Amino acid sequence: MTEEGSKRKLTDIGKSTRKSLLIIWTGIYLNCALTLAVSGSTITGNFLNGHLWQLLNDSQKIIHITGIQEGLLLFLSQIKEDLQIPPELMDAMNESGFFDRRRLLFSYQGASNIAARIDIFYRDQANLIIPIAEAYQHVTMKLNFATAEDLANNLSNLRRKYK
């Protein structure tokens, strides 16, 4: 085979490879676009919502829940530090129930239980547009023994807010 023939053959292989990569890339793009078109947008405002939640695996869901909880802890720590709350006032707020875990959106149920409850929350198609952080808030209200009326009002408000 001549040198020119070898170059032509390599060029043909390069064209073939580029064409194959373009076809693969187009297929991936169309698959993603169709998935989003069928499932709806994964973002509500600037927040991730139930459509995205349904795409996550169990480990990713636990990591997301843990991130929300770590963010809340950081926020509370920073607020306490920034406001320089005197210990007497802090004690009075604790005694008054200001830091009641229901208000702080924490649950002693664990991240996996919260993730399972969020899965249940998003089974209702009307809830898919609601951001994950809001679903977390609603689920922890339920886990922390909110009344049925409070839960119904909260869910109604969330659906109205993100309609």
Q: Residue 60 and residue 35: Cα distance in Å, rounded?
A: 19
**pLDDT at residue 10 in the model:** 47
> What confidence tier does 69 reach under pLDDT thresholds 50, 70, 90?
confident
Q: For residues 52 and 116, state if they share a domain.
A: yes
- pLDDT, tens digit, 9 for 90 and up, residues 81-121: 777 778 788 788 777 766 655 555 565 678 899 999 999 99
**pLDDT at residue 18 in the model:** 61
Which has more confidence, 90 or 43? 43
Residue 38 identity: V
Q: Residue 102 and residue 159: Cα distance in Å, rounded?
A: 21
Domain count, the chain: 2
Q: For residues 101 and 30, state if they share a domain.
A: no
Q: For residues 8 and 56, state if they share a domain.
A: no
Q: Record the tokens describing residue 54, joined without a space.
A: 């349904």
Q: For residues 7 and 47, state if they share a domain.
A: no
Q: For residues 19 and 92, state if they share a domain.
A: no
Q: For residues 25 and 104, state if they share a domain.
A: no
Nearest to 158 by CA among 144, 67, 141: 141
Which has more confidence, 42 or 36? 42
**pLDDT at residue 7 in the model:** 52
Q: For residues 89 and 123, state if they share a domain.
A: yes
Share of the chain above pLDDT 90, in %: 38
**pLDDT at residue 64 in the model:** 94
Cβ contacts of 115 within 8 Å, gap of 6 or more: 58, 61, 62, 64, 65
**pLDDT at residue 37 in the model:** 46
Q: For residues 28 and 48, state if they share a domain.
A: no
Long-range contacts of 57-61 (CB under 8 A, 24+ apart): 58/112, 58/115, 61/115, 61/118, 61/119
Instruction: Determine phi and psi for 130, rounding to 5 degrees.
Output: -70, 130
- pLDDT, tens digit, 9 for 90 and up, residues 2-23: 655 555 554 555 565 666 555 6
What is the span of the domain harbouring residue 34?
1-39
